[in-house]
Every structure is written in C-alpha cells, then in structure tokens.
Amino acid sequence: MSVLPSPRASLFSLSWPLFIELLLGIAVGLVGTLLAARVSDNAGGAFALANHVSGTLFILFRIIGAGVSVVLTQSLGAGRRDRADALARAALGASSWIGGLTALAALALADPLLRLMKAPLEVLPLAAPLLMALAPAMLLDAWNASMASVMRAHLRTRDTLAVLIAMQVCLLGLAVPAMANLGLPGFALALAFSRALGLALHLWLWRARLGLRPQRSDWWRLPRAELAAILHIGLPGAAENIAYRLAFMVSVAVAGTLGAQALATQAYAQQLMHFVLLFGLATGFAAEILVGHLIGAGQLHEAHRLVRRALARGLVVSVGVATVAALASPWLMQLFSSDPAVIAAGVTLMWLTVLLEPGRTFNLVVINALRATGDARYPVLVGAVSMLVVLAGGSWLLGIKLGLGLPGVWMACAADEWIRGLLMWRRWARHDWVPQARATHRRLRAARLG
C-alpha cells in the first residue's frame, strides 16, 4: 500500500501549483481578449465566442480526462503502478482519436456551430476563421491534457506547472506580433506553436520522471480493459460537463440575441470571473487527486475529513475574492472597454458573481471528490436536470422573457450553482458515496492480490 504524505500538507502542496497553472491559463485568455478588444468590441466578442465553441468541442476530451485522473490515482493509492502505466498509455491513444475528431469538427463545422450560437452578423465573419485556425491546437491540447493528468496523478504538479509556464511564455511571446500582423488567427497560430512545445516537454518528463516511454502504437491503440476502467468514470463525468457546457452555451446564445454589445460585456465580465473561481477550482482538482489516492488505499475517513477542510477553505476564499473583484470592477472593466454602458453592465455582473461563487465552490470541490470515490453517476443525473432547466431555461426566462438581460442570465447561473452544490454536499455529508468507495477499494485489492 502506498504511503501518502499528510493530507493537510498535500492539499496545499498540490493546490498552489494547480492555482498558478489555472491563473496563467486565464491570464493568457485575458491578454488575448484584451488584444482582440483593442481592435473593436466586435473582435472581442468574436474572440470570446470562438473560444466558447472550441471549449465546447474540447469537452469531448472529458470522456478520457475525467476518468484517467481518477482511475490512475486509485491505482497508485492501491500500489498498482503497472496498472497505472497501462492506463496512461491507453489515455494517450484515446486522446489522439478524440483530439483529432474535435479538430475536424472545428474545421468543417465552424460556421454552422457559430450560427447555432446566435453569433451576431457583425461578429460571425471574424469568429469563423478564428475557430478554424484553432483546430490544430485542439489536437495538441488533447495530448498535453492527458499527459499532464498522468503527471498530476503521480503528484508531479510542480513539473506540470513548469511545462505550462513554458507554454504560456511562448504563447505570449508569439501572440502579440502574430495578432498585430494576422489579426485574430495570429493568436491561433501562436497557440499551436506553444502547444507543440508543451508536448515535447511532457514527453521528456514522462521519460525522466515516470520512466514512461510511449511506443508508436500507443498513439493510436485503444486497449479494451484500460479504456473500460477509464470510461466507467469518464463517461458520467463527461456527460456532466457536456450538460453544463450545453446549458452554458444557451446562456451565451441569449447574450448573443441581446446584441454585440451585450455579448462583449458578458465576455469581459467572464474573464474577470475566471480569476475569482481559480482558488476553488484548484482546491477541487487537488482534492480529487488526494481522495483518489486515499480511496485506493482504503482510507475513507481521512478522505471525508479532507473534503470538509477543502470545502471550508474554498468557501472563505471564494467569497473574499469575489467581493474584492466586485469592488474593483469599475476600474477593471476599463481594461476592456471605454463604453460607459459596457462598464456599468459589467460592474452589475461582478456583484452578482459574489452571490454565484459560493455555490460554485460546492460544485468544484464536492463533485470532484464524489467522482474520485467512484460515485460518478449521481452528479450527472441530478446536475443535468438543474443545468438544463435552471441554467439554460432560466437564462431564457429571466434574460429574454422577463426582460432582465444579462443580469437575468447571471441570476440563472447563480441559482443553478447553488441548487447543484447543496445537493452534492447533502450526498457527501450523508456518506452516500461510501458503498461505491468500498467497492472500488475491494476491486483494486483483489486485483493486487490476484
């Protein structure tokens, strides 16, 4: 059985590299949005819309990403390094197929997908070429994401942070001159180069840190046994993410029907909101990794205590950061636009974020923990109803039908996060996840002894 460091120390030691990773990723998105917004609000809206669609397509990777992280940590916690290595190779092959399909969809369906999102006519000619140009980076991102997930499962979060820093420095160094000369597609070109660098670094780290050397067949092979284990967790996890993304895209489409100015305002406010949710997201990812190890090792009581600590910490910080961001929003919104109407609307959305973020923290921490125990279906079954009815339906009802506009969309988002978050916490607090966790541990112990 593997020996874990102190969970309290591990939660912090895993969280801070993840926090910086997420911070850098969002900072680069912010820089891209700022560069696009300097061209015009239409370009800023196009940049945000193309990235929303690419993110929706990339959600297919969650079929692999959500599963590989959990089953790897469980296997490592149970002392099954051989199984963990086989799972890592299987994830690499699956990433090739899913990443390739995602890239093809972006190339072939850019215009229809953007029209489905109700892209304003003045935004569509800018967003479609950008989405097509993002296609190569999607395949590279699939490989990088799977390889980084394997590194994190081995508790190598500092190594993944170093790779991300190298990628983002490369991206920023190339994006500024590329966008100056090529416009929005210049960002996609810089992104592809930076992701190619990340792939090279991940391959080196797999060999140097984990002793893993992918064979040629690993890039396309789909081993049945390993994929079945990944999909057992990954399919429900992906379904939950797909349901959220679809519901979220409805809210973006609602903003699109309100006009280019509303779409740009939402894009700018969301860039600021992404910074607010960073700590909760990093804490949720760290908790998932540690809970997976603890479940594999049979330490269920310690897993429960760890999640309670992680949630308490996340709630305090998320409320504090959201409040500070709301107070600073009149000045922060001026980074994106000089239009007083855009700035005023953005400030209103940031104050609504103070209401939204505590509910989101419940989801970020508890859903990841439930998934790490093997209890992956409940978040999908319960969450999908709330996301589709409250988030998607509520965005339309409050934003358009009742005429509340963007604040109505934000209210629907907040209601959805709180409903799902409290239901997930109820399941965790009542220990309804314990039967699945015990079954997972028994299965891993039997495989080790056999």
SS3 content of the chain, % helix, strand, coil (to 5): 90, 0, 10
Written as six digits, the tokens of 366 are 């508890």
Residue 402 has a pLDDT of 92
Residue 377 has a pLDDT of 85
Residues 6+ apart with CB under 8 A from 12: none
Give dist(CA 241, CA 261) in Å, integer: 28
Domain positions in the chain are 7-449
Amino acid at 392: A
Written as six digits, the tokens of 313 are 């910490």
Give dist(CA 143, CA 149) in Å, integer: 10
Written as six digits, the tokens of 388 are 């589709």
For residue 1, name the pLDDT band (cuts at 50, 70, 90): very low
Q: C-alpha distances in angstroms, 267 versus 126, 164, 264, 276?
A: 15, 24, 5, 15
Q: At what angle do helices 41-58 and 7-39 cross, to 10 degrees?
A: 140
Instruction: Flag whether pLDDT at 322 surpasses 50.
Output: yes
Q: What is the 3-state secondary structure (H, E, C) of 217-269?
A: HHHCCCCHHHHHHHHHHHHHHHHHHHHHHHHHHHHHHHHHHCCHHHHHHHHHH
Give dist(CA 434, CA 428) in Å, integer: 9
Instruction: Flag whether pLDDT at 150 surpasses 60.
Output: yes
The rounded mean pLDDT for the chain is: 87
Instruction: Flag whether pLDDT at 50 surpasses 50.
Output: yes
Q: Yes or no: say if 277 and 357 are a contact pair by the CB < 8 Å rule.
A: yes
Note the pLDDT tens digit of each residue in 404-421.
999 999 999 999 999 999
Instruction: Flag whether pLDDT at 41 surpasses 60.
Output: yes
Instruction: Flag whether pLDDT at 9 surpasses 50.
Output: no
Out of 31-45, 272-286, 355-369, least confident range: 31-45
Q: C-alpha distances in angstroms, 294 versus 5, 56, 308, 388?
A: 11, 32, 14, 33
Q: Yes or no: say if 444 and 74 are a contact pair by the CB < 8 Å rule.
A: yes
For residue 227, name the pLDDT band (cuts at 50, 70, 90): confident
131 vs 56, residue with greater confidence: 131
Written as six digits, the tokens of 136 are 């190569």
Q: Yes or no: say if 139 and 97 are a contact pair by the CB < 8 Å rule.
A: no
Q: Provide DSSP, 307-342.
A: HHHHHHHHHHHHHHHHHHHHHHHHHHGGGT---HHH
